[in-house]
């Protein structure tokens, strides 16, 4: 396609989707499709969310597919106001090879079919996102892998719109012009690619979540172009706009009239600003504003292996769980139980600081209260569903047995650490399912069992840390009395803190664990 001399190219910069399984995502996009992982970073909106970027060798605009990682997150609903298909350009001569490759890898496909005069194979990625391979000659700016077969760049994205004419008119301001129409889909053409707008009238509205797209970004030449666009959109009284410095590009967010989130992103400075070009995507980066907690973030963000690298198999167990494996593991494991509203990663930074060589196993509670994860249902501030505690304790015991067998963990070197609701649950498991927890760290716990069982906890070691200013501290005394009365070796500390954790918690837990667990702790 021809363009005026010196005029910046229009077209797609990147498309961002949401995945619930980072390992399966990497295996599909870097392994099966053969794209280059050019950047892995904590999210710029939320540094505790992993963000992956795939593209050509340099991560060129127009080749980029990015993913927000909501590990084991809720599935979204595809509907209008969303991108719901992406298309990658592959050499037309490679269609047959890709059909064979799909069969070899057990990936379901539809086609080949013809769309806008191009031969297309339709696949689904592990999250169910439709990925089309379109046979069209569109060379990558910086080829990666097998240039004779592999995807070169984004050919198109498809937006489902309940107001397709308004969406199309809005898209024209980004260098797109109307092209051919097939059925209920209008193709908008730029200098380099296409945005297909499908009439979604009467269809359901999209709901954000895994397996859906967050946004599509189009290209801007520079920051001045972003600022000019922001002024222009303000005079049009469009949806609110937000300009962001994403380090690798500067961008503006806006919603088109039918609700699809669009981003306008500069071509530069690019992904080589913090990594050499030949090692792009090999180091986990942290946003500049989060450098003070960089190490904590690297522990919290989900780990994965690149294709061909060894990886821990994922076992199907009763609770959502995630591992963090240190560079030099010592064979011990810390099992982590979050507080109300937490996640399986919340306690990982603390656990890593107190036991740097331990493998961490974060677990997510299955009860929910107004969207917040818990370990059992709550009837009131200090009243709890006793039947639910018992059934969840039984399920957790099965989880522990499955984790020991499935991941080869050493029960004698497992320590369970819980905070608040997680600590309450761990103590309940000790009473209701004896023998599954032999070493426990309970932070800000209380007794939640109305009729604590007569359990023999001889040989069980427990560290319990209460906060003197914790409004629930008095409710911890019955738990301490029950633990001691059951024969547990209890080490009880009350510190000058509230319900929140403090540096003193870290010091006490590190010292306690060093004595009892042995090995290396620094």
Which residues are catalytic, by number? 420, 470, 499
Tokens 């194979």 correspond to 121
CA dihedral 263, 268, 269, 271 (to 10 degrees): 70
Length of the chain: 522
Label residue 155 exposed, middle or buried (CB < 10 Å: 0-12, 13-18, 19+).
Answer: buried
Helices (H), 408-462: 421-432
Alpha carbon distance 251, 442 (integer Å)? 45
Q: Looking at 146-226, which runs of residues are DSSP E strands?
A: 153-161, 177-182, 185-189, 194-199, 213-220
Which helix (DSSP H) or strand (DSSP E) does residue 505 occupy? Answer: helix 503-517
Which helix (DSSP H) or strand (DSSP E) does residue 508 occupy? Answer: helix 503-517
Question: Read out DSSP for 371-383?
Answer: TEEESS-EEETTE
Q: Closest by alpha carbon to 68, among 302, 307, 265, 325?
A: 302
Q: Do the bridges between strand 82-90 and strand 130-135 make them parallel or antiparallel, or are there none, so unpaired?
A: parallel
Q: Return the SS3 of 77.
A: strand
Handedness of CA 451, 456, 457, 458 (dihedral sign): positive
């Amino acid at each position: 396609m021809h363009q005026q001399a010196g005029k910046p190219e229009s077209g797609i910069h990147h498309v961002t989707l949401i995945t619930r399984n980072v390992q399966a995502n990497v295996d599909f996009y870097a392994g099966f499709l053969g794209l280059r992982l050019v950047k892995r970073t904590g999210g710029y909106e939320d540094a505790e969310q992993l963000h992956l970027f795939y593209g050509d060798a340099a991560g060129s605009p127009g080749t980029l597919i990015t993913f927000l990682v909501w590990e084991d997150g809720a599935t979204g609903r595809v509907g209008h106001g969303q991108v719901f298909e992406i298309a990658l350009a592959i050499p037309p001569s490679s269609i047959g090879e890709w059909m064979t490759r799909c069969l070899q890898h057990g990936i379901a496909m539809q086609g080949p079919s013809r769309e806008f005069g191009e031969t297309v194979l339709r696949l689904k990625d592990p999250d169910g996102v439709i990925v089309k391979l379109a046979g069209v000659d569109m060379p990558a700016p910086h080829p990666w892998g097998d240039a004779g077969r592999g995807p070169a760049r984004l050919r198109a994205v498809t937006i489902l719109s309940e107001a397709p004419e308004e969406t199309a008119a809005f898209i024209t301001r980004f260098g797109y012009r109307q092209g051919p129409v097939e059925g209920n889909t209008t193709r908008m053409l730029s200098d380099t690619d296409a945005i297909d707008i499908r009439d979604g009238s009467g269809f359901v509205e999209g709901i954000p979540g895994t397996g859906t797209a967050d946004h599509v970004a189009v290209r801007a030449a520079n920051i001045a172009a972003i600022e000019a666009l922001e002024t222009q959109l303000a005079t049009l009284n469009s949806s609110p706009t937000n300009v962001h410095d994403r380090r690798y590009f500067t961008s503006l967010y806006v919603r088109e009239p039918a609700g699809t989130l669009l981003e306008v992103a500069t071509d530069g400075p690019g992904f080589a600003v913090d990594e050499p070009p030949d090692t792009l995507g090999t180091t986990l980066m942290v946003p500049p504003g989060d450098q003070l907690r960089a190490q904590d973030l690297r522990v919290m963000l989900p780990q994965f292996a690149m294709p061909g690298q060894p990886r821990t198999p994922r076992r199907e167990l009763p609770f959502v769980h995630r591992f963090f494996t240190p560079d030099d593991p010592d064979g011990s494991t810390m099992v982590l139980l979050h507080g109300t509203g937490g996640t399986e990663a919340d306690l990982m930074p603390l656990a890593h600081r107190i036991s740097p060589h331990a493998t961490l196993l974060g677990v997510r509670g299955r009860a929910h209260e107004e969207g917040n994860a818990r370990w059992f249902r709550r009837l009131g501030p200090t009243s709890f569903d006793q039947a639910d505690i018992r059934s969840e304790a039984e399920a957790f015991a099965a989880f522990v047995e499955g984790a020991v067998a499935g991941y080869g963990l050493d029960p004698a070197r497992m320590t369970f650490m819980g905070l608040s609701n997680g600590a309450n649950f761990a103590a309940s498991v000790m009473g209701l399912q004896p023998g599954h927890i032999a070493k426990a760290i309970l932070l800000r716990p209380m007794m939640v069992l109305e009729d604590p069982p007569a359990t023999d906890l001889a040989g069980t070691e427990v560290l319990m840390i209460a906060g003197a200013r914790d409004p629930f501290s008095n409710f911890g005394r019955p738990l301490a009395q029950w633990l001691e009365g059951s024969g547990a070796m209890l080490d009880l500390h009350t510190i000058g803190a509230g319900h929140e954790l403090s540096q003193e918690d870290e010091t006490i837990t590190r010292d306690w664990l060093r004595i009892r667990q042995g090995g290396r702790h620094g």
